[in-house]
Amino acid sequence: MKFRLLVIVLVLLIAAGLLAVGGDRLTLRLVGASAWLAIGAAVIALPIGSLLAIVLARLAIPGRWLAQGLLTLLLFQPLYLTCGAWRAAFGPQGWLQDQIGSAANPYLLDGWLGAIVLHGIAAIPWTFFFVRMQLATSAPELEEDALLDSSTTSTLLNVTLRRAAPGVLIAALWIGVVAFGEMTVTSICNVRTYAEVLFTGITLGEAVDQTSLPVWPAVLITLLMTLVATSLAAQLTPAATTSMPTRPPTFPLRPASKFVVSTIAWLAVALLFGLPIGAFVYKAGLIVDVTNGHVLRSWSAAKLVELVFASVDKYSGLFQWTFALGAVSAAATLLISVSLAWFASRRPFGQGMIATIAGILFGIPGPIIALSLIWLLNRRESPLLIYFYDRTILAPAIALVIISLPICMLLLWHLFRVDAGDLDEAAQLEGYGPWRRLWRVGVMRRPAVLAATFLLAFALATSDVTASYLVTPPGVDTLSRTIFEMLHYGAEDNVASLCLINLAFSATLAVITIMLLRPAFRSAQS
């Protein structure tokens, strides 16, 4: 582990040196702003997410499996919904400002404070996920032996926390990748970072070959972080079922300590999961009347229900394009990820190949994906390319495949590689070629896994803004694009009702996907 940390430090130092030599002042300032955003978000997300993972994985908290499930559902919540929900509660014209007026101004989630806090909140479920995976794949013998000689607190601090360190490192790198590649939160909070300025320049009509901001520094830094993160993430699960750890230990707690820890953990989970729902419900049902210069606010459940149903009818075109684009990109993602994951799982160099591909795709910031597609397809000298660019959904579909492919590919590769190779070897002895083995052994035995992967790719595609926003053709609009634009004007009742529909849609996809994947992961760990 020390060697890996040394490699990471050296790689980042090399990247910083290259950046210092080749970057201008604007580039350096924007990259520094993105780094500051990542550091601030990590300060919030890493301790909270890590503690939640350790507490829910090792302590006998009442309902801890439900709490873990709720935090897992948050992985499917789009970033723009997290941003809109917390700003509806604590942002400009939000619930807090409605209650205490101008006294709330210094604490509103806007500007740098809002961008850092919102990125930190969005990263808590991901930190929980990575640390929880790290703890799930750690052999429990050291912790069990430590419990015999020391207290629960000492074991948690000296053994469990140290064994969770690789997961914390992966989460930190993930936060850095998101900070350098995402512009959703920074655009809404009006904060200048690398991805946001690049995105703003393109939306203002700046040509790809005329952009004043060099694209390689952020690509290099993000690519290095993702390559390291995906390489480490590949170690979260063992290569064979025989090396899977036994059931992790549950640490004993005194009744008083158990009550305090349980209360704090559940308050955190309830806040993370319940606040988005509550904030949008409040905004969608809010009624504001002005009488004799006095503003009177009230809340109506009837208005909430009426507005939600009206939004379904009003924005029906958005749902149609969202489903169409999501289905096309998810089908292409499934086809590519199944092929790559299967063949990589059957090759000795497969882990390095999968980590490299995932790292490269993860490492390209969303606006740069859009820049590349614009450069590739927006060719006036080619009527065919112009037709595909302006009159079809090819460009956004390609962008969404690039966004969703790494996660789906890593998921399938893990499930394929933990499988015993007996059936594959038997099929090979019977003369089946690689594609027939893929179909008979890899695909036909896992219909639930493939359906879950399709839904996962669909969820990732329908929640993207960064990569697909700039290449969506005229006349095509999606739910994520519309909500992102509306959030710039505040989470008022119309956008709040649309966000509630989106939350319900994302939660439904998440529940079905998790239910389909659970038997596969259980069989892989048995």
Kindly write down the DSSP assignment for every residue of 303-340, as one continuous string: HHHHHHHHHHHHTHHHHHHHHHHHHHHHHHHHHHHHHH
**Per-residue pLDDT tens for 22-50?**
556 777 777 788 889 999 999 999 999 99
CB 161 within 8 A of CB 54: yes
Place 316 in a pLDDT band, splitting at 50, 70 and 90.
confident
pLDDT, average across residues 169-184: 84
**Per-residue pLDDT tens for 101-122?**
888 888 888 889 999 999 999 9
pLDDT of 3 strictly over 50: no
pLDDT, average across residues 411-426: 67
Q: What is the pLDDT of residue 313?
A: 86
Q: Is the dihedral of CA 392, 395, 397, 398 positive or negative?
A: positive
Integer Cα distance of 454 and 331 in angstroms = 7
End-to-end CA distance of the chain: 28
Q: Cα angle vertex 28, ends 229, 79, to 5°?
A: 50
Mean pLDDT, the chain, rounded, equals 79
- The three-state secondary structure class of 155 is helix
**Per-residue pLDDT tens for 352-392?**
777 778 777 876 777 788 888 888 888 888 888 888 888 88
Q: How many residues are given for the chain?
A: 526
Paired tokens of 192: 């200048």
Helix axes 366-377, 394-417, angle to 10 degrees: 130
Integer Cα distance of 88 and 495 in angstroms = 10
**Per-residue pLDDT tens for 442-460?**
666 677 778 888 999 999 8
pLDDT of 18 strictly over 60: no
pLDDT of 17 strictly over 60: no
User: Looking at 210-224, 230-244, 301-315, 462-476, which range is the least confident one?
Assistant: 230-244
pLDDT of 268 strictly over 90: yes
Q: What is the pLDDT of residue 245?
A: 46
CB 28 within 8 A of CB 130: no
Q: What is the pLDDT of residue 100?
A: 84
CB 83 within 8 A of CB 188: yes
Closest residue by Cα to residue 462 from 309, 363, 333 = 333
Of the chain, the percentage scoring pLDDT greater than 70 comes to 75
Integer Cα distance of 250 and 240 in angstroms = 25
pLDDT, average across residues 163-190: 85
User: Looking at 82-86, 215-219, 331-335, which range is the least confident one?
Assistant: 215-219
Integer Cα distance of 459 and 233 in angstroms = 22
Q: What is the pLDDT of residue 328?
A: 93
Place 158 in a pLDDT band, splitting at 50, 70 and 90.
confident
Q: How many CB atoms lie within 10 A of CB 496?
A: 26
Closest residue by Cα to residue 221 from 380, 15, 411 = 15
Residues whose CB falls within 8 Å of the CB of residue 204, separated by 6 or more in sequence, listed in order: none
Kindly write down the DSSP assignment for every residue of 99-154, as one continuous string: HHGGGGGGGSS-HHHHHHHHHHHHHHHHHHHHHHHHHHTS-THHHHHHHHHS-HHH
Radius of gyration of the chain (CA): 24
Integer Cα distance of 78 and 118 in angstroms = 12
Integer Cα distance of 177 and 165 in angstroms = 19
Q: How many CB atoms lie within 10 A of CB 488?
A: 11
Higher pLDDT, 245 or 397: 397
**Per-residue pLDDT tens for 203-249?**
544 444 444 555 566 666 666 776 666 666 665 554 444 444 455 66
Kindly write down the DSSP assignment for every residue of 13-80, as one continuous string: HHHHHHHHHH--HHHHHHHHHHHHHHHHHHHHHHHHHHHHHHHHHHB--TTHHHHHHHHHHGGGS-HH
pLDDT of 171 strictly over 80: yes
